[in-house]
A and B are shown apart, each in its own frame.
Chain A
Amino acid sequence: MSGDETDKPKEPTFVERLKDAVRTDPDPLIGGGIAAAYVAWLLATARSLGFSRDEGFYFTAAADYKRWFQMLLATPGRALERSAIDPIWANNHEHPSLMKSLFAISHLIFKERLGIFADDSTAYRFPGMLMMGLALWVTYMFGARAYSRRAGVVAAVTLGLMPRVFYHAHLACFDVPIMAMWTTCIYVYWRAEKEGGLSWAIACGLVYGLTLETKHNAWMLPAVFLPHALVVHGRAMSRYASRGSRIPVPSSLVAMATIGPAIFLLLWPWLWNDTLPRIQEYVNFHVHHDYYNIEFLGRTYFGPPSPRSYMPVMIVATVPTISLVLFLIGAVDRLRVLLARFVVWSSARLGRSFAWPRVAPARDRAQTDLLVFLAIGVALGPFVLTKTPIFGGTKHWITAYPFIALLAGRGFDLVWGRIAGLLAARTSLDGSKRAIAQAAVGVACFGGAFATTVHSHPFGLSSYVPFVGGTAGGADLGLNRQFWGFTTESLAPWLEANTKPGETLYFMDTAWSSWVRLIDEKRIPPGLRGVGSPSEAELSIVHHEQHMNEVDYNIWTEYRTPTPAYVLTHDGVPIISVYRRPHVTRGR
């Protein structure tokens, strides 16, 4: 070893650099820890959650797409031919490709190649779970960066402890992924506004493209960004405009308008041929989407006008009350700050002073609070329109929840601040005792939400918050108890004990592909044969939703009895009735 080499400063190893980064900024690691713990929870509970209708369709689509990816690896030239693309990508082309492609790739890697997951379904579901991890990570980062580390943690906890979110986070569907991408896109845009520079702008374009490729909610994001950009950059824009020079549009917006659609097209092979007609078809499908049946306050809605009260009532009934209380506290605080900024701005513009605020609030060049409120407003806004279908329950405005959680985090900051103040006035706490007190307040706040979320599984869509009476309270109010027929798997113990191999079962609202997967993965007795009508079945089930009473009564007609052999309940509320064909001599 030469003397020169020993004198040279030693390059830090990767681990050392990582340690240094964590010391400097532990937030990504904290957020990552929360996300990893949650994904582990999802994986641990995935086996006991049955398959929803839509999952069945996406499993099938992903299996098809997987064939294409395999072809792409083996014979790329052949895979890029129209005759190879169209038959495969025609499957489920009403939704973009990103998540179904990830489901397929996950299956290829984690099931077929590495054999990490025993169930095919878990391999398909895993990307959706990771998306929930991403949503939690970004929510934490946003909260930590915008308000405080404590607010970030509470925001992530608030989001994770929503029973409906916990349910959807298990699924190989698009609702949690779009929530994650919506939040990520807004976060990256916010960072671009704060940090500036080309890399954040390009990141905006990339993430927006992926968001477009996740679900059609992404097309609403300009309604968040444009008003926000106008407020932040409006002054500069008008100054340039008045000079007649080029208007300085933020580079993040330019990137989203250019890179975003390019990625949308690039990642969706279905659009590579007949591009414009197929985009038109995609748009038409969602603009003219069917209205499905959904019960609300004892009435089944199946078309417009949708009740304006649906969204607020369902939020109150399904989001843990403590989360909403903290959100309200945080929202009032931030609205007050927004209003104060507006008054200060008006005061400067009008050249007159106002009595309030006495002290001008700190400037925020990125207008974070405005962005958060826009993110909530744009996600919830369509649901005050009577033409908006409501059949998806809370999942259709799930994109608002991370931002509601952010403000809940801010609310917790204020609550803890008051409690800490009161404690300090009465006692002296050292750092560790203070931390314990803070944790205790957190546990007191979220113990109920945690218990409700744990207990909701695997009946997440039947669950209502304790303040409206829980599952039974939801039933009393005439609120929807489930959809998509995913609860069939919860019959497994009864079916194991009460059926024989070869018996036929009419599985009602469960999609055929979901049923096949339940059988394949032995989640229900594999000897059962599924059939499409009670007339063909020894056993028939009905998933209890108000409009599905029709099926219930049809079974009564067919079996000539209204007596179920078994009723699956959650907290005493019927979820599924099982009927067995009576073996009696026919005739009245």
Chain B
Amino acid sequence: MKKDLLAYALAAVPLVGIIELVLHVKETTSDVVPGSDWDAARDAVKAELKPDDLVLFAPFWADPVGREHFGEPLAGLKREARPDETRFARTFEVSIRGAHRPELAGWRKASERSVGKVTIGVYENPAPVKLHQDLVDLVTPERMTVWKTDGASESPCPFQRTTGQAGGLGVPQGPAIPGDRFVCSGGAYVGVGVLHALDHQPHLCVFVSPQGAGSMKVRFGNVAFGSSLHGHSGVQWVNERTPSQERISLAFSAFDRPLGTNVHRVGAGWTGFELPTPDLVGRTGDLVAEITGAAPREYCFEADTRDVP
């Protein structure tokens, strides 16, 4: 009996090859999502998308295809390189292969529909916030000033509109130095770029690259405050991936008093902070950020003012 079973099992082995062929045909034909389905999904999302909605592609590896078909502004820089999802009221998850993004855990699914081989799920933020100001938007010569401090001396860092410096052949190459940037003595700069975070996600943020000792101060003008200062900090992946004892501090102050300090530990990845500012609700004024200990790391931060529930 046992021998018979073995004989039949061995005789059935060619079935493995046949199944392999069938699977191959399926995976290379009917499973592949055609461009027309992506385009149809884009049109469907576009019809309903509001400015404070997010578009997410699932799985993450499909993101380039999603960006290609959805384009700006649906899949623009602010959505793609967001600091996190909390600022968005709803998310349109554009999914293939039954994938679901882990960032949406805890969000309520409001609807779901299929467009060809693409599934569009609409998810609602369980704790929506009201955003007042995104500091990244203020990185302009009109709204921001930068200076470098070294002991008692302070030197201003003028804004320059120049060519960027984006890597070379091969990796790692460090973050691109943006063309529009505040340039300080010794090669330090402050400017907006996209951070490659430890988890390989993109984050639009303010790079602060102080060269040598001292600290950098950034003043954002006419900031509309809410009940909280919500932000993140991180270091470019190639540095962050090797944990160290280094600490980079980001101290915020406004109206001549400190609001709080975020300390970034190299190796922690893109990490968030929340500084409560209930007494500043409705006020407008300058916000100063002082960054210490970033040299020679490729440090980046972002923050917004918001009302939290």
Contact, CB under 8 Å: B20 / A467: yes
**A residues less than 8 Å from B192 (CB atoms):** 557, 588
**B residues less than 8 Å from A419 (CB atoms):** 10-11, 14
Which of B67-75, B146-154, B243-251, B285-293 lies at the binding interface? Answer: B67-75
**B residues less than 8 Å from A449 (CB atoms):** 17, 20
**B residues less than 8 Å from A465 (CB atoms):** 20
CA gap between A472 and B65 in the complex, in Å: 13
Which of A96-104, A268-276, A541-549 lies at the binding interface? Answer: A541-549
* A466 vs chain B, min Cβ distance (A): 4
Bitwise, A461-505 to B at CB < 8 A (1) or not (0) is 000011101111101100000000000000000000000000000
CA gap between A167 and B11 in the complex, in Å: 32
CA gap between A321 and B75 in the complex, in Å: 39
**A residues less than 8 Å from B164 (CB atoms):** 535, 557-558
Contact, CB under 8 Å: B194 / A556: yes
Given contacts A534-B166, A563-B71, contact A586 B20 (CB under 8 A): no
Given contacts A329-B10, A546-B200, A550-B196, contact A555 B166 (CB under 8 A): yes
* A121 vs chain B, min Cβ distance (A): 20
A364 contacts partner chain B, Cβ-Cβ < 8 Å: no
* A200 vs chain B, min Cβ distance (A): 36
Which of A73-81, A169-177, A247-255, A572-580 lies at the binding interface? Answer: A572-580
B158-173 residues at the A interface, CB under 8 angstroms:
161, 163-173
**A residues less than 8 Å from B176 (CB atoms):** 534-535, 553-555, 557-558
A225 contacts partner chain B, Cβ-Cβ < 8 Å: no
A447 contacts partner chain B, Cβ-Cβ < 8 Å: yes
B113 contacts partner chain A, Cβ-Cβ < 8 Å: no
CA gap between A545 and B174 in the complex, in Å: 16
Given contacts A448-B18, A557-B176, contact A548 B171 (CB under 8 A): yes
A415 contacts partner chain B, Cβ-Cβ < 8 Å: yes
**A residues less than 8 Å from B171 (CB atoms):** 293, 509, 547-548, 550-551
Chain B residue with minimal CB distance to A322? B17
Given contacts A470-B28, A550-B237, A558-B176, contact A325 B165 (CB under 8 A): no
**A residues less than 8 Å from B139 (CB atoms):** 588
CA gap between A172 and B216 in the complex, in Å: 51
B186-227 residues at the A interface, CB under 8 angstroms:
192-196, 200, 202
Contact, CB under 8 Å: B16 / A321: yes
Contact, CB under 8 Å: B165 / A535: yes
Contact, CB under 8 Å: A415 / B59: no
Contact, CB under 8 Å: A572 / B24: no
A43 contacts partner chain B, Cβ-Cβ < 8 Å: no
Contact, CB under 8 Å: B11 / A554: no
Contact, CB under 8 Å: B65 / A574: yes
**B residues less than 8 Å from A128 (CB atoms):** none
**B residues less than 8 Å from A411 (CB atoms):** 13
**B residues less than 8 Å from A588 (CB atoms):** 139-140, 180, 192
B175 contacts partner chain A, Cβ-Cβ < 8 Å: yes
CA gap between A265 and B21 in the complex, in Å: 48
Given contacts A554-B166, A554-B167, contact A445 B13 (CB under 8 A): yes
Given contacts A445-B14, A472-B27, A475-B61, contact A451 B166 (CB under 8 A): no
Given contacts A451-B24, A557-B175, contact A549 B200 (CB under 8 A): yes
Given contacts A550-B196, A561-B76, contact A329 B13 (CB under 8 A): yes
**A residues less than 8 Å from B195 (CB atoms):** 553
**A residues less than 8 Å from B170 (CB atoms):** 509
Contact, CB under 8 Å: A574 / B169: no
Contact, CB under 8 Å: B72 / A561: yes
Chain A residue with minimal CB distance to B136? A588
Chain A to chain B contacts (Cβ below 8 Å), 17 pairs: A322-B14, A417-B10, A444-B15, A447-B21, A455-B24, A467-B23, A473-B27, A535-B164, A535-B165, A550-B172, A550-B174, A551-B171, A554-B167, A558-B176, A563-B71, A571-B32, A577-B68
Interface residues of A (CB under 8 A from B): 293, 300, 302, 320-322, 325-326, 329, 411, 414-415, 417-419, 421-422, 441, 444-449, 451-452, 455, 465-467, 469-473, 475-476, 507-509, 511-512, 532-535, 544, 546-558, 560-567, 569, 571-574, 577, 586-588
| Nearest 7 pairs of A and B residues by beta carbon | A448-B20, A466-B23, A448-B21, A470-B27, A554-B176, A445-B17, A444-B14
Interface residues of B (CB under 8 A from A): 7-8, 10-11, 13-25, 27-28, 31-33, 59, 61-65, 67-68, 71-72, 75-77, 80-81, 96-97, 99, 139-140, 161, 163-176, 178-180, 192-196, 200, 202, 236-238, 241
What 7 new A-B contacts, CB under 8 Å, besides A422-B11, A577-B68? Answer: A300-B200, A329-B13, A422-B7, A466-B27, A512-B169, A535-B163, A562-B75
